[in-house]
Amino acid sequence: MWAPSQMAPAEELTDVVRAYLKWHCKFQNSSKGDAAANHPNVKEPDAEKLLGISGDNVPSAHANDEDHLNHGHALNSLDVTRVVFVAAAAGAMWFLGGSSNPYITAIGVICTVVGGFPIFHEAYENITQRRMTMELSMAIAIVAALAIREVFTALVITLFVLVAEILEGLTVGRGRKAIQHLVDLLPSTATVRRNGSWSNIEIREVEMDDEVLVRPGGRIPVDGKVIGGHSFVDQAPITGESMPIEKHPGAIVYAGTINQSGAIEVRVERLGRDTTFGKIIEAVETAEKSRAPIQGIADRLAGYLVYFALSASVLTFLISHNIRSTISVVIVAGACGIAAGTPLAILGSIGRAAQHGAIIKGGLYLEKLWEVDTVLLDKTGTLTYGTPELVDVCPAPEVSATLLLRTAAIAESRSEHPIAKAILRKTTQSGIPYEDPQQFEYTPGRGIIARSDGEEIVVGNQHFLLECGVHLNQSNGAGLGSEVFVARGGRFLGTLHIADTLRPEAKGAIQSLKSMHLRTVLLTGDANSVAEDVGRKLGVDEIVSDLLPEDKLLYVKKLTEKGHKAAMVGDGVNDAPALMQASVGVAMGSGTDVARESADVVLIGSDLSKLVETLQMARRCRRTIMQNFVGTLVVDSIGVGLAAFGFLNPLLAAFIHVSSEMAFILNSARLLPPVSSANQFVRGILSQSASTTG
């Protein structure tokens, strides 16, 4: 017969159980709603409407990653309540000293089973699926602790595991919020010109070639070309550029970017998933669904660690017959740091790369990026803008530069050749007026003969002018670009030098690549003199010129056959075969659709410095994963050894397990795009409190 003073603690502990069961019933039905509301997944109706995402395309974790990635949700009321309940039960056991009281012990067992239900449920599923996981090993440890009447120890282990799963969920959840964060950048409506007036319509009703009005402060809903207005646009969410970019008629704008100052009218060129914005979301989705080879290694290593811990525990019991040491061995070994940390690091790296203007189309290509030892670079459109520019005006003696430019512009005004556009662009920028010729005759590959004010104008290459009887009394050398000769009325007026302009960031990017001990090779179809000049200015390691598309492909094949891991960077149709043959194909965002589709990585803003950042991010991801691998092996080996020799009790073993696991997961979380997670954490608690009191 128990004394009344001994019954009171049991009644208090019973009250704790009753209170928890009331909370459990209250939130049982609402938990699914909370999870749906808080789960950062693109399966939300808004995402489907904005981008045309079907339910089948919604990203889901790979089967082997479900145990960890499915923890990636926002703070859930039921989870918090369960932790508070187990903590209260453990506190009651501690303060009431119930180890000698069978009633308190029985209630403690019930608290452990009820509070640790998710652990046992997951362990049961693992048994039915014949999978060995850390959850199963922890469930075995808890049951073993209960079997030897270490109820307080079992409660504390349960508490540690529940807290660890919540922290892991909050951390991994940051990675899975990447898609929803991007979806939130796109407006749900657009202002479109219909029947001569502006009207607001749903984004899904916008059609190709529609004219969309974007007011100051509004987000641009489509990819398109500016046809009216002038403004500055913040493109940081898409291209990673820190400064707003000036937009005027003819400029390209991207969906999801922010119009800052003036109203602009945009003609729709891409919608939904075809936009650059849609490609980013697709890349993050693919990253979440796909698995890099290193994730398979992580899964196998995690399984081996579980078998190692269980085998070590059996050996410990056979040698020492100490059940507490045996339980400690099972508890101390943790593999979640690599099983959950590896996909988190990959998803975070791809999300951060997308935020900075580079689309990586899956974890496989991220892994290939960190293996790259050679970078192959196309010239036109990659290292240069791919647009001819007039770089030098060389008038003949006693001829003004104005007369030379005006005469060339008259002849070229009816031509659609890129060189003609460069001459006309420079003439217009210089404020020099010109008129159309009365007659115009174009000989492909040679030049133009035009007539204006009764005089014949000849514009073309040197041989063409000589054939037309023009005496050239000035020699400007071979030149490193296209040299255009101009004559009027049989008189030689001078030459214009046309060349492709180097991208301003190209030289710095090449130097950064070399500082990373990467070999740089210029592959181009241009003449050797032009290639040598560009290569010398940029400081590339090797220059290969006069290449046809099949020659580029052959060069990449030979390089890969030698065991090199090559990244090919290009922008044109002629680069597509080499992009597909290389270990990693990288396309410039301004390039052709064929190049972008053939590539594994797309640089949205066509900024070569983003290639450097992407390679650095890939290497950082690899370092992080290897740190987790090595750290887990070291901690588990030392921990199992200490536990086997009786230096760790189950409580200390549980603390080491949880703290090391979270350390490695947080190490991977450093790669996630920065968010104000502290504010989100507080808002989550406040919102849950509000819903509870309501």
| Active-site residue list | 378
| Lateral strand order in the sheet of 542-544 | 358-360, 601-603, 584-588, 566-570, 374-378, 519-523, 542-544
Q: What are the two backbone dihedrals, phi and then psi, of residue 305, each rounded to the nearest 5 degrees?
A: -65, -35
d(CA 404, CA 427): 10
DSSP secondary structure of 309-323: HHHHHHHHHHHH--H
Instruction: Determine the Cα–Cα distance for residues 625 and 386; give it in Å rounded to an integer.
Output: 39
Q: What is the largest CA-CA distance in the chain?
A: 128
Residue 244 sits at the vertex; the CA angle it makes with 243 and 245, to the nearest 5 degrees, is: 115
Strand 374-378 relative to strand 519-523: parallel, antiparallel, unpaired? parallel
What is d(CA 74, CA 231) in angstroms, rounded to the nearest whole number?
A: 38
User: H/E element holding 492?
Assistant: strand 491-502
CB 295 within 8 Å of CB 193: no
**199, 209 Cβ separation under 8 angstroms:** no
155 φ/ψ angles, rounded to the nearest 5 degrees: -65, -45
Tokens of 68: 């960890």
Under a CB-based contact definition with an 8 Å cutoff, are residues 212 and 202 in contact?
no
Question: Cα 140 to the chain's mean position, in Å?
Answer: 39
| Cβ contact 589:605 at 8 Å | yes
Cβ atoms of 600 and 408 within 8 Å: the answer is no
Helix (H) or strand (E) holding 74: none
Residue by residue, DSSP assigns 321-385 as --HHHHHHHHHH---HHHHTHHHHHHHHHHHHHHHTTEEE--HHHHHHHTT--EEEEEIIIIIEE
Nearest-angstrom CA–CA distance, 218 and 233: 10
Q: Which helix (H) or strand (E) holds 147?
A: helix 134-147
Its sign, for the CA torsion 34, 37, 40, 43, is positive
